[in-house]
Structure formats: structure tokens, C-alpha cells
Amino acid sequence: MTTDELRRHVEEFLAAHDPVTTDRLEFLRARYDAGLAWVHYPPDHGGLGLAQELQPVVDALLSDAGAPDNNPHANGIGLGMAAPTILAIGTEEQKQRFLRPLWTGEEVWCQLFSEPGAGSDLAGLATRAVRDGDEWVVNGQKVWTSSAHVARFAILVARTNPEVPKHRGMTYFLCDMTDPGVEVRPLRQITGEAEFNEVFLTDVRIPDTQRLGDEGQGWAVANTTLNTERVAIGGKPAPREGGMIGVVARTWREHPELRTPDLHDRLLRLWVDVEVARLTGARLRQKLAAGRPGPEGAAMKLMFARLSQQLSGLEVELLGEQGMRYSDWTMVRPESVDFTGRDAGYRYLRAKGNSIEGGTSEILRNIVAERVLGLPTEPRTDTNVPWKELAK
């Protein structure tokens, strides 16, 4: 399909579904069925099998027509992590069941990976899943779970075989967060919000039909998710001077009295770094759309964390005393996170989490060193030891 043919397809869709008179959810479902949700996905799964670079053409035409979007900020984990993994690994039945309501926003997703004793070392997780006929019984605790308080489903990794080394005894599941035995508790963070949660799983029963990939292949499936996550966090589409660099540049222009040669030099250097990251992210999203997420996403996520923290720090310096003010520390449980919203104090505090979430910067440096640069791996003594024999 050429760009002109795609434009005509969108125009025909709009002629049949007027966004002014069509119910929002009905419109989004119809858009998915027409292949205009994510055009690089296959037909019958919200796409047309086209290049991802054509998605902005669709988005612009629909936006100009006043069409509603699917509120992507409220379901970042679903759109950026769960959907690509289900598309790459899931059965046809799983794709048909989960992708459509995920994209329309009817079902929000969260990620049940990290645990109190297994954060950076995800393969050390202790949450157990035991087979019981056509179901799995899951017990354990997860932590730092964004959006768990609003999520309908979760991507979950659990240990199904403690007799083998830790990387080989894990299995990946799709967990219904409304099932009996799932308990979500808020974790208040330095910003005052509780966007994170801890999740307790007590005798939660998951049908085997909601197992993603083969039993014992959870580490490989989880790596598919983690690679897409890092691109989703560090390589999100952004216009030139979008995101945090746009906020800081605007502050610079609006407050000439705050400028110094040193701050000017730092702003210019950061602007160039952000532009390099933006263009690199575009290339990585092409690989992701082709189903080849790689370790390069770790480098993008590393750069994102560094730039967010340096830019938010520069903004606070620019604003002086005003930058130290914090407007509201009320305990709230937001449905989504706006990294550039609120005030400079919020942005500065929230950016501190960027080097932890989505993989700590220390772990990502190891990934870049070993899988991108080809440097020797660090000594590991537990790769051939059964998980049950490891020190806990």
C-alpha cells in the first residue's frame, strides 16, 4: 500500500465513522478493525503490515478530523511491552483475545517482574507457579509495579521449576488482576504520589491458556519484553525539542535574567545529546517494528535516564529559589505519569527514578558492554547451580 492509498483508506474510514457522531469506544474498535491502530502490525491484529514510518500519516489525518486517541499515557506498559510480546510469542487465540481491548484502552496492563529479592537480578525471582491440571497456582510478592491499581491484566514471570538453574526454571504468564488472591498496595514515593505498588499473589489460579511461550522459557520471553520496554522508555517518538529539553529551553527563553555563560554551554550540549538520542530512537523503533528488538535499547534507556536527570537539574538551577518550590505533596494514585508535567521540583524528583525503572543503569551498562561492545563478561558462579541451592 502506497502513502496515497493509505490516505484514501483513512478517508474512507472517516467517511464511514464520523468521529463527531460516533461513540468514542466504538470509533476506537472500528479503527483497530480497519488496521489503523498500529499499521506495522499484521492484518487482523490492528494493522496493515506496513512500515511503522507510515503511522504518523494515519495519526495526523485522524487528529485533523477530530478523532479520539486511545489515551496511550494511561496504558504505556500494555502498548509498549505487553502488546509487542504477545504479538511475537503469543498464540493466535491470545492475540485475538488480548490485543484489541489492550489497544482501545479497555484493558490496562501492568508488569509483575521485580520482587523484593529480585530486582536487577530478575532471574533470581522466587514467586512460584505450580501446575494443577489445566491451571497454575501462583504464590509470591512483586514490587515497584506501575499502574497495578488500575490494571486489568499483568505480564507475570514466575518460577515453575526450582530444580534447574535460575534462568531455565521460569515461565511467563498473562495474569488477570481481578482474580481472587491478587492484592495491590500503594507505595508512596518521593514525589508524594503512589504510581508504584506492591502486589501480593496468594493461590492465584491462572489457566494454562494464559501461559505465554513454553514452560521454562520465561527468561527468553521476558527478554523480548525488556528489550521492547527499554526502547519504549528511552526511544519514544518525540518532535525536535520535545520532552524535557523543550521544557528547559522554554524556561531559558522566558527568563533572560537567569542566564549565565556556563548554563548556556550546558544547555547547548544537552540539546545536541537529546537530538542524537531522538534520531537514534527512530532507528531503533524501526528494528522493533520489524520484530527485532535488540540490546541497543539498553543504551537508549541509559541515555534517557542521564538526560532527564541532567535536564531537570539544570532547570532547577535556572529557576533558583523558585525551582526549589514544590506545589503539592498530596498522596495520590495517578492513572498515568506525566514526566514533564507539574512544576520543576516535581520533574527533578521524578527523574531520580529514571535510572532505576526499566532496568537499573548499572545493569544496562553490563548489557551494553557484553552484548553491544562484545567485552568479556563478568564472572558468574550461579549459572549452572539449581535455583533451590542458591543463597536467598
Write the CB contacts of 241 (distance below 8 Å, at least 6 apart in sequence): 249, 271, 274
Residue 293 has what pLDDT? Answer: 55
As a whole number of angstroms, the distance between CA 98 and CA 167 comes to 27
Strands 135-142 vs 128-132: parallel, antiparallel or unpaired = antiparallel
CB 307 within 8 A of CB 277: yes
Full pLDDT tens readout for the chain, 392 residues: 899 999 999 999 999 999 999 999 999 999 999 999 999 999 999 999 998 889 999 999 999 999 999 999 899 999 999 999 999 999 999 999 999 999 999 999 999 999 998 887 899 999 999 999 999 999 999 999 999 999 999 999 999 999 999 999 999 999 999 999 999 999 999 999 998 999 999 999 999 999 999 999 999 999 889 877 655 565 556 778 888 999 999 999 988 888 889 999 999 999 999 998 888 877 776 665 555 556 777 888 889 899 999 999 999 999 988 888 887 888 889 888 777 878 899 999 999 989 988 778 898 898 889 888 899 988 888 888 999 999 87
Exposure string of 42-76, with b = 16+ CB inside 10 Å and e = fewer, is eeebbbbebebebbeebbebbeeeebbebeeebbb
CB 108 within 8 A of CB 147: yes
**All three cell numbers of 237:** 517518538
Domain spans in the chain, listed from the N-terminal domain onward: 1-69, 221-372
As a whole number of angstroms, the distance between CA 123 and CA 165 comes to 9
Active site residue 296: no
**All three cell numbers of 86:** 504477545
Residue 379 has what pLDDT? Answer: 84
Residue 139 has what pLDDT? Answer: 98
Which of 280, 253, 279, 257 is closest to 267 using CA atoms?
253
User: Superfamily for 221-372?
Assistant: Butyryl-CoA Dehydrogenase, subunit A, domain 3 (1.20.140.10)
Residue 376 has what pLDDT? Answer: 92
Which of 308, 306, 300, 301 is closest to 243 using CA atoms?
308
* Cα 126 to the center of its chain, rounded Å: 23
Looking from the CA of 283 toward its CB, the CA atoms found within 13 Å total 10
Task: Pick the catalytic residue from 115, 229, 296, 315.
Answer: 229
As a whole number of angstroms, the distance between CA 80 and CA 12 comes to 29
Instruction: Please give the model's pTM, rounded to 2 decimal places.
Output: 0.86
Residue 382 has what pLDDT? Answer: 84
